[in-house]
A and B are shown apart, each in its own frame.
Chain A
């Protein structure tokens, strides 16, 4: 009873961490916080996968010469190894994009960036109107 409830607590906290990561991605306006939220989400998903692969009384999946050892399932380990490295590649790319956005727009808050985009868009429409008016004369 207590072991099954502790096991369920494991799953619940992983789902809570997933939701915290998701909230940071969609709820916060700071671009850096969004990338941090993505990292939290990814790591909690890794935890879920590795939890699936654990066998009670098992050991790490490295062969030893004792007969009848139970090994934990190696397949989730392999998938998560790939996923961790892909995750860091995504984080690095996201951070480089944030740096470039900061150097072009001057801030990394999403509201400021979309407001500046709107102003630039209206300016572009005005410039195009002026240029086409010059040609029509």
Chain B
């Protein structure tokens, strides 16, 4: 048990290091690569916390697809980030105050791993028993996702579908329309 906690603390410290490096980096390619590394270390952390489905999804989606999209978008964007003209003191103060309040509240949270904390009492034993008796499949996460909370998964599928067609609509390349708009603007300017 203590070794698990040490592994967790080590991995989470790596994530903190990556976060601090992201604060300081100015070049876009380093930012994208550090984000990908961040997702990968988060996936390792999820395995250490017994969440194997979530680790699978985070590794494939976060460290895979998200990085591909960032790299594909980066081909069209400027390579360096410019220095801030205005001061960043006010956002920093807001973040520090909020962080202080959250850390003060963290003393009320239950200890990690306690089996008697309220989150484990209400409906989780029912789902675990139901997955064995009523549904009959070993993977409890799939049975909850597809059967007990199937309506949420339906909504999520529609969300992914909507994001796909929204991106297709935004990035559609209508060169004829652009030329028509530019010629209209010229007529307005001259007349």
- Distance A84 CA – B54 CA, assembled complex (angstroms): 8
Q: Which residues of A contact B163 (CB under 8 A)?
A: 89-90, 92-93
How many angstroms between the C-alpha atoms of A82 and B184 in the bound complex? Answer: 46
- A17 touching B15, Cβ below 8 Å: yes
Complex interface: chain B residues within 8 A of A50 (CB): 46, 49, 51, 54
Residue of A nearest to B15 (CB): A17
A39 to B84, CA, bound (A): 21
Residue B123, interface by CB 8 Å: yes
Q: In the complex, are the beta carbons of A88 and B9 less than 8 A apart?
A: no
**Chain B count of residues within 8 A CB distance of the other chain:** 94
A-B contact count (CB 8 A): 267
Contact of A30 among B1, B82, B162 (CB under 8 A): B82
Within 8 A of B (CB), among A73-107: 73-78, 80-82, 84-86, 88-93, 95-100, 102-103, 107
Docked Cα-Cα span, A98 to B69, in Å, equals 12
Contacts of A43 in B (CB 8 A): 38-39, 42, 58, 62
Measured CB to CB, the residues of A under 8 A from B are 2-4, 6-24, 26-30, 32-33, 36, 39-40, 43-44, 46-47, 50-64, 70-78, 80-82, 84-86, 88-93, 95-100, 102-103, 107-109, 111, 127
